[in-house]
Every structure is written in structure tokens, then in C-alpha cells.
Amino acid sequence: MIRSKLRLGTAVLAAATLGLASCASPDEGGEAAAEDVPGITDTTVTVGTHQPLTGPAAAGYSTISPATKAYFDYVNDNGGVNGRTIEYIVKDDGYNPANTQTAVREMVLQDEVFALVGGLGTPPHSAVLDFVNDNEVPDLFVASGSPTWNQPEDYPYTYGFMVDYPTESRILATYAQEEFPDKTYCFFGQDDDFGEEFQGGLEAVLGEDGLADVQVYSTANTDIAAQISSMKEAGCEVNFLATINGFSAQAVGTAAKLGYFPQWMASSAGGDFNTLSGYLGENTNKLLQGFVSANYLPGYSDTEDEWTAKFSEINEEYNAGAPFDGNTIFGMSIGYLFVEALKEAGETPTRESLLEALESGNVTGNGHAPLGFGDDSHRGYTGAMLTRVDNGVQSYFGTPYVVSGDEVQEYTEERPAMPADGLPE
């Protein structure tokens, strides 16, 4: 008995020591922080993010963080921000909230990041929302269209980025009513807040019974033939998609196999042509002809656009010439917005001054619609523009729209001009 207890005791003790050893902070004895702001030294600013580098969402989104990193590297090579270089920690969470918990705790508690930038996904990020706000870590530009991030009262440290689902769904529905009146509208969405919020926005415009058929999928199950067949049988002509890229492609592909070619209208989260073509292969151009989706950032195919040209140049030089697509623009735009906010936060940024910079409204980003940041709003882009695919090229048409409340309006102001060399002034 004594011996067994000794053994258990030894195991517990040794285990504890092992645990301690494994947790020793790697950065002890580093440079003294300026006024002890976590993640800020005289020469560096450390920020972190959680991304799906593996798992079900990886194929659609794993190229975002390399693009953000490329932009930061570009900034660092041009003198950094007020003499500080940006160190960017990327942790893989596999789009699994349980992993996000660990990854974000590690970045906040151990790596002591100054802020989180562009954490991706509604389910993963929801899992750490309380944690980051309890720890008073700026949680900027969450890469998800959920309106959850816009709750300044409850979550003062969290800011959105993407146009939220209720907004883009209203824009898509309004356009559909104008362009395809008297057609049968249907909806295919993800079985979570993404789908629910999007459906809510559509019904706000189309009416409670405006959707003839509503189908949902779960990311764990990649076979969606049953849902698509049901939509086909219901005679759906215009199908709204609240799907991540992989499932947008799956929906279009499955429908084509069934000989069913409706008008697709996708959320910006699942409407990037290059990413979709990665799934659809050689028939992409035929399958995606006329595919409409919302977007708000510079279009990657729009070579006339100064932002696109600059980002493309940075991509060549700092991202090893990786395929240039919507994800690249997205990642770099998040990087740009953070650098803009950090510059605005002053010579010696603190977490408070960073948030004040965002609330001031002086941080404008590079979208076709304006950002909603202010005292009482942490909403990201407040509107969107529509894109259509024609002969394998996805490009913008019409004017941008902004949404406030249920009202969809055309937005006529000019997009902020790009500062010299794409570096915020």
C-alpha cells in the first residue's frame, strides 16, 4: 500500500515538474517592454491569430494568414510602425473551437500578444470571446461575418471586419428582387449562426414566406446531395448561399451533377472565384457562369485597382508568388487595417490607445463600403458591392450598397485613396 502511494506520489510530482518545464516561458529575459504593455517592446509589436491551417476549412482559408504575414513583412522591411517591427504569431486551430481555446490561451497568457488580429471563424472565435475580453486583449478584425463581434457593451475589446451576414444578405436579397422578380427564391446555409443570421436577413427583405425551400448542412458531413435534390424538386430558381467556400463549390458541383443550374447568390465568405475553382477543377468557368456574390474589398481580378496592383506586387515579393486571389486580398487588407490602427494609436501604443484609435473613426481601411467603427459600434464594413462571374472572371458591377437597420441604400462616396506605397501614413 505504502509503495503504491509512493509511486502515485512520484508520478504526480514528476508530472508536475514536467508540466512546469514544458510551460516555461520562452521569452523570459527579453527586452524590457515600453511601459510594460504586453506584446510591445521598443522594437517589436507581437500580435497573434488563430487560423484553420488544417481541417475542414483549411482548403478554403489557409492562404489568408500567409498573405497577412507577407503584408507585415513588407511593412517591416519599410521601417515597421514607429520603429517597431510586427511579429505575427499564427496558430492552427483546425476550425475546431476546442483547439482555439488552447491556441488563444497560449498566445495571450504565454506569448503575451499585444492583440489578436483576424481570428478566423464564428464557431472557433465564439469559444474565446469571453476569455479575450476578460483578459482585456484587443480582439481586432475577426474574420467572420457574424454580428456577434459588434457588441461594444458586452465585449468592448472585440471588433468586426467583414460585412456582417445580416447586411450582405439584405443586399443580395434586394438585388435579387430587382433583377430576378417573380422567381422562386431558396436558401442553402450552414447549420449555425452563419446560416441563421443570413436567413434572417433574407427574410427581412423577401418576407417571412419569401423562401420557398430552406436547406442546411453541417460541416462534418460533406455529402449534400439530399439538400440540393430537395431544392431542385422545390423548383428553386434563385438560391442564396450562406456557405463556406468548400460547401459553395460542393453545392454548385452537386447541382450540376443533378443537371440543375439555378442562379447562385453567395455570401462573401463563400464566393471567392479562385478558391471555388480550386474545388471545381476544369469545368469551373461553365459551372460558375453568372455566379453572384457580395464583396467589399478590392477585387483581385481588377488590375486597374491600385490596391490590387500593390497587393499583387507584395504577394510576388513576400509571399513567394502564391496564387493571388480573394483570400490574398483579404489577408493583406486585414494586415493593412491593423497597421493603420497601430499608427493611429501613437508613438507608444497601448491597448487603450489602440481601441481609441479605432473608435476615433480615423481608421478607414480599403473597402468599397465604409467601416462602422465608433463609440457605440464595433461593426466592420457596413455594406458591400456585388460581383458576377463572366467567362471565368469575377468582377464588380453596379454601385456599393450600405445597410442601416433594414434599409438598403446605394453608397456614393469614394473609397479612401491608397496612401503612397500602400503604407498607412
Partner 1 sequence: MSVTKRYAFAAAAAVLLIGLTFVIPSFASYQLATVCAYLCGIAGLTLLTGAGGQLSLGQAALMAAGAYSYALTANTMADAGTEGPLLLLVPLAAAVTGAAVLGLVIGLAAGRLHGPYLAGFTMALVVALPAVTSTFSSVLGGDQGLWITVEKRPASLRGTVSTEAWQAWLAVVCSVLVLTLLANLLHGRFGRHLRAVRDNPVAAALAGIDPARTKVTAFFISSAAAGMGGGLLAYTTQSASPGAYSLVFSLFLLMAAVVGGIGSLAGAVWGAVLLVALPHLISTATSRLELSADLAQRLDGNLAVAVFGLVLIVVVLLAPQGIQGLLDRIGRRLGPTRSVSVPPKSPTSPDSPDSAPSPASSTPTRLSARHEPEQLPATPKGQ
Q: How far apart are the first and last CA of the chain?
A: 72
Among 33, 34, 59, 109, indicate the residue that binds partner 1 (CB under 8 A): 109
Of the residues 41, 68, 96, 243, which one makes contact with partner 1 according to CB under 8 A: 96
10 counts as binding partner 1 under rule CB under 8 A: yes
Per CB under 8 A, 18 contacts partner 1: yes
Nearer CB in complex with partner 1: 15/417:
15
- Which of these ranges, 87-95, 167-175, 277-285, 359-367, lies near partner 1 under the rule CB under 8 A? 87-95
Q: What is the 3-state secondary structure (H, E, C) of 97-150?
A: HHHHHHHHHHHHHHCCCCEEECCECHHHHHCCHHHHHHCCCCEEEEECCCHHHC
CB of 170 to partner 1, least distance (A): 23
Candidates 236, 234, 232; CA nearest to 257 is: 232
Residue reference for cell 487603450 = 352
Q: What's the one-letter identity of residue 370?
A: P
Q: Does 23 contact partner 1 by CB under 8 A?
A: yes
Between 4 and 412, CB nearer to partner 1? 4
- 200, three cell numbers: 434572417
CA distances to 167, 240, 316, 317, 399 from 320, rounded to whole Å, are 35, 36, 6, 6, 34
Q: Of 29, 153, 220, 259, which one interacts with partner 1 (CB under 8 A)?
A: 220
Interacting stretch for partner 1, rule CB under 8 A, among 186-194, 207-215, 380-388, 412-420? 186-194
Q: Count of residues binding partner 1 (CB under 8 A)? A: 53
Q: Of 216-224, 257-265, 279-287, 417-425, which segment contacts partner 1 by CB under 8 A?
A: 216-224
Contact between 22 and partner 1 by CB under 8 A: the answer reads yes
**Shortest Å distance, C-beta 233 to partner 1:** 22
Q: Which residue, chain included where needed, has cell 517589436?
A: 44
3-class SS at 331?
A: helix
β-bridge partners, 214: 187
Give the DSSP letter string of 300-317.
Answer: TT-TT-HHHHHHHHHHHH
Residue 117: count of CB within 10 angstroms of its CB: 30
Asked whether the beta carbons of 184 and 158 are under 8 A apart, the reply is no
Separation of alpha carbons 133 and 35, rounded Å:
21
Integer Cα distance of 268 and 386 in angstroms: 9
CB of 12 to partner 1, least distance (A): 5
User: What is the sign of the dihedral through the CA atoms of 220, 188, 389 and 202?
Assistant: negative
According to the binding rule CB under 8 A, does residue 246 interact with partner 1?
no
Name the one range near partner 1 by CB under 8 A: 214-222, 235-243, 335-343, 389-397: 214-222
Question: Which span sits near partner 1 by CB under 8 A: 97-105, 166-174, 292-300, 347-355?
Answer: 97-105
* Cell numbers given for 116: 489578436
CA distance 51 to 121: 8
Among 49, 85, 126, 366, binds partner 1 (CB under 8 A): 126
Query: Residues 25, 348, 362, 409: which binds partner 1 (CB under 8 A)?
Result: 25
Residue recorded with cell 516561458:
25
CB of 157 to partner 1, least distance (A): 15
Q: Any contact of residue 26 with partner 1 (CB under 8 A)?
A: yes
When the beta carbons of 61 and 381 are compared against partner 1, the nearer one is 61
Based on the shown chain and the rule CB under 8 A, indicate whether residue 420 belongs to the binding site for partner 1: no
Considering the rule CB under 8 A, would residue 136 count as an interface residue with partner 1?
A: no
Under rule CB under 8 A, residue 130 binds partner 1? yes
Q: Candidates 129-137, 175-183, 262-270, 362-370 — which segment interacts with partner 1 by CB under 8 A?
A: 129-137
Among 60, 119, 123, 370, binds partner 1 (CB under 8 A): 123
Q: Residue 226 Cβ, how far from partner 1 at the closest point, in Å? A: 13
> How many angstroms separate the CA atoms of 408 and 406, rounded?
7
Sign of CA dihedral 306, 309, 313, 314: positive
Helices marked H in 294-415 — which ranges?
A: 306-318, 326-344, 351-359
Q: Which stretch binds partner 1 (CB under 8 A): 190-198, 268-276, 290-298, 386-394?
A: 190-198
Shortest distance (Å) from residue 94 CB to partner 1: 6
3-class SS letters over 27-50: CCCCCCEHHHCCCEECCEEEEEEE
Residues found near partner 1 in the complex (CB under 8 A): 1-5, 7-13, 15-16, 18-20, 22-23, 25-26, 53-54, 62, 66, 69, 92, 94-99, 101-102, 105-106, 109-110, 122-123, 126-127, 130-131, 134, 191-193, 218-221
